[in-house]
Amino acid sequence: MGRLFGTDGIRGIANTELGCDKAMTIGRATATVLSKGLEKRPTVIIGSDTRASSEMLGAAVSAGICSAGANVIMLGVVPTPAIAYLVNLFEADAGIMISASHNPFEYNGIKIFNSEGFKLPDELEEEIEDIILGVEDADREIPTGGEIGRISYRYDAISLYRDHVKKSTDRSFEGLNIAIDCANGSASVSAEKLFVELGANVHMLSNHPNGTNINKNCGSTHMERLQKYVVDNKLDCGLAFDGDADRFLCVDEKGNVIDGDIIMAICSLDMKKNGRLSQNTVVGTIMTNFGFTKFCEEQDIKFIATKVGDRFVLEEMNLCGYALGGEQSGHIIFREYATTGDGQLTAVQLLSIMVKENKRLSELAAVMTKAPQTMINLTISANGKRLFYTDAAIKKAMDEATEELGASGRIVVRPSGTEPLIRVMVEGNDGDLIDKIAKRVASVIESRLGNK
């Protein structure tokens, strides 16, 4: 597994690593695999973020789908969670999102959802990969004439998705003064009207996409401007989304960043109080901060850690019927309302708690104290990422770091599933010590893999 699909679809530099030929093949392979056993002509909905390459790749994927005899409904620019919601509402057989999420604009990607709005399991991804890579002989009857798929368009996707998110709360946000950073991405078409209709007074930032400014010094990966804006304008909080709006982080009234772990702490405590926290359990990942683990112990909440990736969090949630899960990066899943991480839905849930409790965000965030944590991201080639797993010097550096940290800390080093990066995360009680260890291990990795 993992030849083409990463933890969140297929990604690469648009028009080189992910070009039109490959996108068309992905579309054809997806339609072929997901139409097995259907007695009707399959339908696939397609949406995209605001990248310059999204229209090109969306057209290529659509052509591939139609060439396999399936129909396409184009939705235009939408958030990724809108695809996950609408595929079921429209009774489509699959949904595809053209997006590279939080990555820079030159990247793009293809995320695939099944008819129920879930990301595909490994076995279906492997079937699609086999067709794309020619492992499975595509010796099938080629549709011609009236059997070729058709493309249609719907223009109500955003309003239907927005109505869905609004129904997740019975609170009015009247009186709240908030800033919203749309990352010049998908939230630009939905967030302002959503929060205005819920009653908030909004200040919009980075909501004018031009095809090349998505995630550029803005959004959930670059919070500095939002932090300053909230403090300078004395606002109640700031909301930050990533390029396709499936992630959400925020800023409290003091300018402090509230990450996914703290958001989950606030929401899990509220859900427990109201009997909505199924089996009194929250699902996170191995990157979840120690502070959240301690919070769960104090609040008598069970915590389960999975591999990094919201798909793995969701798999665990679905396996046992858990209601809340997510990642530090801001992928939060409220299973009562969604089948994937949804930034705007998460923001609505958090603001609803603020209104209900009549508390500032900083007061709510005080329920959890984060343990010191250092993260270093190293740009490494695909070949270097592969060599990481067998390099003896890197393993030795990690073992030494683990021994030095002892029981009071931990180190997690892993290749990113969505970017050409290796992430070094060190956590512990001593901030200076973890910084020193993180830099030391990162230096070894860079010296061993940086030029490979």
- DSSP bridge pairs for 324: 282, 334
Report d(CA 299, CA 429) in Å as an integer: 21
C-alpha closest to that of 191 among 170, 206, 172, 176: 206
Q: Report residue 290: phi and psi, to 5°.
A: -55, -35
Here the tokens at position 93 are 């057989």
Report d(CA 13, CA 217) in Å as an integer: 19
Q: Are 333 and 313 in contact (CB under 8 A)?
A: yes
Query: 101 an active-site residue?
Result: yes
Q: Are 384 and 450 in contact (CB under 8 A)?
A: yes
% helix / strand / coil in the chain, to the nearest 5? 40, 20, 35
- DSSP bridge pairs for 179: 203, 238
Report d(CA 172, CA 259) in Å as an integer: 24
Q: Are 191 and 346 in contact (CB under 8 A)?
A: no
Contacts of 103 (CB under 8 A, 6+ apart): 11, 109, 215, 243, 418, 419
Tell me the CA distances in angstroms from 79 to 72, 159, 349, one per residue in order: 18, 12, 17
Report d(CA 337, CA 345) in Å as an integer: 8
Tell me the CA distances in angstroms from 349 to 109, 171, 352, 358, one per residue in order: 28, 10, 5, 14
C-alpha closest to that of 105 among 22, 217, 188, 187: 217
Contacts of 405 (CB under 8 A, 6+ apart): 411, 426, 428, 433, 434, 437
Q: Are 422 and 416 in contact (CB under 8 A)?
A: yes
Annotated active-site residue in 101, 186, 206, 352: 101
Task: Please list the active-site residues.
Answer: 101
